[in-house]
Structure 1
């Protein structure tokens, strides 16, 4: 036997692969690879901001009310809700590499078609296709990041939470693309179509980069009893020598393939409180963001003078200075502060900022701009990314896509509420609408205060064998 083989880890069951991945970060797991894995989330952010900008133009072009236009646009979130629930089944059936192509491929096709939608029904259908793809993609992305680092790594929470910084980088790109388009010969009502089509091109780039740099999941291969494939992935991606034992025990492929018990486990026993915390944080942050963040140009246009160009530059500045900075700081401090406590602090500051906005927002435009920036900052550094971080870090690999998908699906209800109701509230109440919005972060704050679960530093991957046993028992 060779020297390498004599020192190789022996794989006898799927949990052996899980344990090795958990304790051995990937050779290439830096910022670049992390952002590639999170690429679908960046596309989600880009398209959400672009369609939010285009809402009033869509209403004008198709002869519908802004509320109905927002409802049509929110169809992407409803579809993403169902896509998130499908994610675990898709990845278990096809594997990580192919599932990434399925999710982002649907998003690409839908986005390209949206740019040429001739009527509101075509727009609705395209948005649904986009939404299913985005819903499938998000749980895969955060699970892939967790697998690159391993849940026992102190850097895993930081890496997973980087999606929030990436989100604001992506939304900043939206406004930086719209500014030159608006200055060119493109008609203002058509800006959103050009922007959506450019986003489809970005999605193609993400698909190619993922196919080349991410590849297949070693854990998935092990759960499918493809131990030799797992050993090859462990060697090339993690630098770990491993070999399959002659008495290797097959895993419960049928149970994980059907994933019938995954959602039952999420809502029972020790996972119930984790699920509630992750879902509430994710949902409340989505609600407040889709009210303030997605419609930031609309809100700023009602506060600042200078027309569309001023609103776009203001939106870009707020996203870059407050959103990107907040996301970066949040990722750096989450390991020290903890995901739950950091979410609670962020929610608390958003409540205070909304209260002040409601009181003085109409009287001092620059103060209002600063307060909107503070909302974006404390959202981004606090609960904005941590709902998904909590969901990703609270479950072992066998149910992680289901847990993230479920939290993301529930989160979409908050996003839908913010996307649909905020234009109506803003039109009817003006800055008094901020008082109503205060209830959203307040619910998030109270939930964090009442549920003490902290996923950062918890070795949840060690629970995988027990969860698989529970699934197999039905």
Structure 2
């Protein structure tokens, strides 16, 4: 019987996981459960959008109150993305994810049963906290669950996002046909609470702590146990080596260590992922703000027609999100982002030059081109490239900081560009906004880092080096050959 591979630290864990071709068995269940949190984040954001009109009429909301409600979640994400990363670095990946679901359930129910603006707003505060924590941690966990050969699958979060928004619109249409009247917003927000409660139970029962994170804390016995539980990989913990002793003596990474993300090899990676995340947030939320207007123009002004129109645009996002995994695998995350930014630039310039003049077919096709290029490129890659660019000990902190930058883009896109629109008009606003994808494209072409094309993962570089990685993979291959019938 062949000897089980020895695990001395994070590099060994990463090498064993990267030796797999794909995510199968128990790993697939945990992988999709982590993705479920991202579905909830998108669904909870769409729930407010779908019911905002009826809520405004029922509660007689002012324009200021509407602005506050729509700003709350992305603003809080600016704060709680790095907080979530810090929690995941200190206490593990799974506990913050469960905590986020508790906040999501409480926030959704509070808003759904609210009798005044203040109560609705406080519910959205809790949802924003959940959103900020969950997104940073889920991407870090997914990166550590996924073999390098399947790293392009991380981009599927973009398709999941659009599936969630489409699902919420479809549900809103169903509630509308049930004649719930202006209470439709309560059903929309409340359904997000139901999804959060189901996810809370399932994640509590089936999510398994990341073996890479456990190894980064020197908890090798637990790490190899979880390796077997998730992937069926049999390994032995070597807690006597110098690497294990060094990990145990190393101080825990905290918020005060965020400067590490802007030093050495991490500096260009942080700049690249931050620019992609900021750019995609700016362009999506600025143009996304006007998609309902475009939808009303094309499909009609009734609630049903406008909702169906929005679903059509989101269906394009699903296609682009699915394509992003393919393009990310074939071209790499950096180049697929560059091409996506380029397509968005062309779409925005064309929208700006032809706004109010183009035939209806062109007026429809240009937003479709925008959404397709956005979702197939930078829309997905900003989160994925951050999750894959850092070693396990700082990964959650890195995804948190990048998420914070992206949330800045969301807030700016929602509130700065409407102000520009008031002064310049919608067509000229699209032309001004086209600068964002142009700068994003140039940044992607200038910075050459791409984790999907690198010879070694960040954990390999930080903890083992290529020689050790190759040795571990060779041991893994010998072990598989020995036990194969």
TM-score (norm 2): 0.87
Residue of 135, 140, 146 corresponding to 2:137: 140
Q: 1:90 to 1:329 in 2, by over 3 A?
A: same
Q: 2:469 — aligned with what?
A: none
Residue of 28, 31, 55 corresponding to 2:25: 28
Residue of 67, 70, 93 corresponding to 2:67: 70
Residue of 121, 126, 131 corresponding to 2:123: 126
Q: 2:46 — aligned with what?
A: 49
Alpha-carbon offset, residue 137 of structure 1? 1.1
Q: Secondary structure at the match of 1:257?
A: coil
**Counterpart-to-counterpart distance in 1, 2:65 and 2:251:** 41
Alpha-carbon offset, residue 328 of structure 1? 0.8
Q: 1:470 — aligned with what?
A: none
**Counterpart-to-counterpart distance in 2, 1:103 and 1:161:** 22
Q: Secondary structure at the match of 2:245?
A: coil
**Counterpart-to-counterpart distance in 2, 1:235 and 1:371:** 49
Matches within 5 A, 1:129-208: 129-150=126-147, 153-156=148-151, 158-187=152-181, 189-208=182-201
Q: 1:359 to 1:388 in 2, by over 3 A?
A: same
Given the alignment of the two structures, is residue 465 of structure 1 paired with residue 463 of structure 2, yes or no?
yes
Q: Secondary structure at the match of 2:45?
A: helix
**Counterpart-to-counterpart distance in 2, 1:29 and 1:418:** 40
Alpha-carbon offset, residue 20 of structure 1? 2.8
Task: Say whether the 8 Å CA contact 1:77–1:416 is kept in structure 2.
Answer: yes
Alpha-carbon offset, residue 171 of structure 1? 1.1
Q: 2:274 — aligned with what?
A: 279
Write the deviation string for residues 248-283 of structure 1: whole angstroms up to 9, x where unpaired: 433545755342554111011111111011011111
Alpha-carbon offset, residue 84 of structure 1? 1.0
Q: 2:214 — aligned with what?
A: 221
Which sections of structure 2, spanning at least 5 residues, go unmatched? 466-485
**Counterpart-to-counterpart distance in 2, 1:304 and 1:288:** 23
Task: Say whether the 8 Å CA contact 2:50–2:168 is kept in structure 1.
Answer: no
Matches within 5 A, 1:261-340: 262-293=257-288, 296-320=291-315, 322-340=316-334
Q: 2:447 — aligned with what?
A: 451
Q: 1:373 — aligned with what?
A: 368
Q: 1:464 to 1:373 in 2, by over 3 A?
A: same
Q: 1:440 to 1:190 in 2, by over 3 A?
A: farther
Alpha-carbon offset, residue 77 of structure 1? 1.2
Alpha-carbon offset, residue 423 of structure 1? 4.9
**Counterpart-to-counterpart distance in 1, 2:82 and 2:340:** 28
**Counterpart-to-counterpart distance in 2, 1:169 and 1:218:** 30
Given the alignment of the two structures, is residue 433 of structure 1 paired with residue 429 of structure 2, yes or no?
yes
Q: 1:13 to 1:360 in 2, by over 3 A?
A: closer
> Paired residues, what number?
458
**Counterpart-to-counterpart distance in 1, 2:313 and 2:239:** 59
Given the alignment of the two structures, is residue 95 of structure 1 paired with residue 92 of structure 2, yes or no?
yes
Q: 1:13 to 1:436 in 2, by over 3 A?
A: closer
Which sections of structure 1, spanning at least 5 residues, go unmatched? 468-474
Write the deviation string for residues 391-423 of structure 1: whole angstroms up to 9, x where unpaired: 111111111111111100110001112223455
Q: Secondary structure at the match of 2:264?
A: coil
Q: Secondary structure at the match of 2:236?
A: strand
Write the deviation string for residues 159-193 of structure 1: whole angstroms up to 9, x where unpaired: 11110111111111121111122222122x43222
Task: Say whether the 8 Å CA contact 2:253–2:394 is kept in structure 1.
Answer: no
Task: Say whether the 8 Å CA contact 2:165–2:314 is kept in structure 1.
Answer: yes
Q: Secondary structure at the match of 1:160?
A: helix
**Counterpart-to-counterpart distance in 1, 2:360 and 2:251:** 55
Alpha-carbon offset, residue 56 of structure 1? 4.4
Q: Secondary structure at the match of 1:250?
A: helix
Name whichever of 232-241 and 299-308 sits farther off.
299-308
Q: Secondary structure at the match of 2:252?
A: helix
Task: Say whether the 8 Å CA contact 2:18–2:149 is kept in structure 1.
Answer: no
Given the alignment of the two structures, is residue 402 of structure 1 paired with residue 397 of structure 2, yes or no?
yes
Task: Say whether the 8 Å CA contact 1:256–1:398 is kept in structure 2.
Answer: no
Q: 1:209 — aligned with what?
A: 202
Q: Secondary structure at the match of 1:241?
A: coil
Q: Secondary structure at the match of 2:356?
A: coil
**Counterpart-to-counterpart distance in 1, 2:14 and 2:288:** 38
Write the deviation string for residues 315-361 of structure 1: whole angstroms up to 9, x where unpaired: 111211x1111111111121211111111111111121122222323
Residue of 341, 345, 352 corresponding to 1:351: 345
Q: Secondary structure at the match of 1:398?
A: helix
**Counterpart-to-counterpart distance in 2, 1:57 and 1:440:** 33
Write the deviation string for residues 421-467 of structure 1: whole angstroms up to 9, x where unpaired: 45555667344432232222222122222222222132222123389
Name whichever of 54-63 and 336-345 sits farther off.
54-63
**Counterpart-to-counterpart distance in 1, 2:114 and 2:249:** 42
**Counterpart-to-counterpart distance in 1, 2:17 and 2:187:** 42
**Counterpart-to-counterpart distance in 2, 1:290 and 1:31:** 32
Task: Say whether the 8 Å CA contact 2:55–2:183 is kept in structure 1.
Answer: no
Q: Secondary structure at the match of 2:392?
A: coil
